[in-house]
Structure 1
Amino acid sequence: MKLTLATSGLLDPRRLSAWSAERRRAIHAAVAKGMTSGGREVREAARAQMRSAFQVRRASFVASLQAKVFDQKPERLPALWVGSRIPWLGIHTHGGTVAGRMLIPLLPTRIGPKRFKAVIDGLMRSGNAFFVEKDGRVLLMAENLRENAAQLGRFKRAERERSGVKRLQRGQEIPIAVLVRQVDLKRRFDLAAGVQGALPKLAAAIGRELDKL
């Protein structure tokens, strides 16, 4: 998504081209400096929007949202990039459908993808993973075996909470995940709103640097 600050007066491209090369370089540097300082305000506003949209458990998740100034092209005014390197975050800004065969963990709380993959790999290596169809759903199951205690800990707790029992029987089948072919995701993260709300502060930061010229 691209947001543009309205340019007028000194920053109007038609007027900017009339300045000397030295003056244009000074303006370019001032805008870049203003974007660097003001960009921090934009970043924090976007992060606040991120915190309200997600149940944040790790500070590194919010910290992944960064602001960076691109000012390497002298013939163009600098640009401020705000975004995250987390590949799946984008779909939460506009919603959409993820298609393919996917396993959704049957847990009351989130489990990280690496941890969940380790659970599945451990169950598959031991041969203790199988699918059953129940109530129109395809479930991945595993037996409550001692050799899989490390992989099954969280899933056993979830099953005890669902069934209301204090202890599961040895060899009892435990649901691990449900197999789905697509997941519909609603828009939940309004990045544009967070950025737009901080644009006046960004413009003010740029203005302060230009006033020094």
Structure 2
Amino acid sequence: MKLTLATSGLLDPSRLSAWSAERRRAIHAAVAKGMAVGGREVREAARAQMRSAFEVRRASFVASLQAKVFDKKPERLPALWVGSRIPWLGIHTQGGTVSGNLLIPLLPGRIGPKRFRQVIDGLMRSGNAFFVEKNGRVLLMAENIRENAAQLGRFKRAERERSGVKRLQRGQEIPIAVLVRRVDLKRRLDLAAGVQRALPALARAIQQELDKV
């Protein structure tokens, strides 16, 4: 998504080209410095939007959203990039559909993808993972055995809560995940709104640097 910050005066392209090369370099440097300063406020506004959109458990998730100034092309004014390297974050800004064979953990809370892969790998290595079809759904199941105690802990608690029993029997089958072919995701993160709220502060920071030119 691209947002344009337009202003009159020194940044007007028709007027900018009329300045000397030295003057244009000074303007270019001032805009870059203003973006670096004001970009911090833009970044924090975007991070606040992330905190309101998601249930944040790790500070590194929010910290992944950064602001960076691109100013290496002297013939173009600098640009401020705001984004995250987390690959799946983008789909939450617009919504969409994820297709394929997807395993959705059957837990009341969230489990991280790395931990969930460890659970599945442990069950697969021990041969204690199998699919069954129940009520039109394909479920990944595992038996309650001692060898997989580390992998099954959270899933056993979830099954006890669902069934209302205090203790599961040894060898009892426990649902781990449901296999689905597609997942429709609604838009959750309005990143543009967070950025736009901070644009006045960005414009002020740029103007303060331009006033020094």
Determine if the TM-score, normalized by the shorter chain, exceeds 0.5: yes
Alpha-carbon offset, residue 8 of structure 1:
1.4
Task: Please list, as runs of the form range in 1=range in 2, the aligned pairs for 1:133-152 lying within 5 A after superposition.
Answer: 133-152=133-152
3-state DSSP class of the match of 2:52? helix
Alpha-carbon offset, residue 116 of structure 1:
0.5
Deviation per CA, 1:119-160: give whole Å up to 9, x if none: 101101111000011111000000000000011011001111
Partner of 1:83: 83
Task: Please list, as runs of the form range in 1=range in 2, the aligned pairs for 1:36-115 lying within 5 A after superposition.
Answer: 36-115=36-115
3-state DSSP class of the match of 2:165? coil
**Percent identical residues:** 90
The runs of 4+ residues in structure 1 deviating greater than 3 Å are none
Task: Please list, as runs of the form range in 1=range in 2, the aligned pairs for 1:11-22 lying within 5 A after superposition.
Answer: 11-22=11-22
Partner of 1:170: 170
Q: Which runs of 5+ in 2 are unaligned?
A: none
Alpha-carbon offset, residue 9 of structure 1:
1.1
The one-letter code sitting in structure 1 at the alignment partner of 2:154 is R
What is the total number of aligned residue pairs between the two structures?
213
Question: In the aligned structure 1, how far is the partner of 2:48 from the partner of 2:116?
Answer: 28
Q: Is 2:200 the counterpart of 1:200?
A: yes
3-state DSSP class of the match of 1:140? strand
3-state DSSP class of the match of 1:30? helix
Question: In the aligned structure 2, how far is the partner of 1:4 from the partner of 1:116?
Answer: 41
Partner of 1:161: 161
The one-letter code sitting in structure 2 at the alignment partner of 1:151 is Q
The one-letter code sitting in structure 1 at the alignment partner of 2:73 is K
Deviation per CA, 1:158-193: give whole Å up to 9, x if none: 111111111100000000000000000000000000
3-state DSSP class of the match of 1:168? coil
Higher alpha-carbon deviation: 145-154 or 7-16: 7-16
Alpha-carbon offset, residue 6 of structure 1:
1.1
Alpha-carbon offset, residue 7 of structure 1:
2.8
TM-score (norm 2): 0.99
Q: Which runs of 5+ in 1 are unaligned?
A: none
The one-letter code sitting in structure 2 at the alignment partner of 1:147 is E
Question: In the aligned structure 1, how far is the partner of 2:70 from the partner of 2:107?
Answer: 43
The one-letter code sitting in structure 1 at the alignment partner of 2:195 is V
Question: In the aligned structure 2, how far is the partner of 1:62 from the partner of 1:5?
Answer: 25
Q: RMSD in angstroms over aligned alpha carbons?
A: 0.5
The one-letter code sitting in structure 2 at the alignment partner of 1:204 is R
Q: Is 2:6 the counterpart of 1:2?
A: no
3-state DSSP class of the match of 2:66? strand
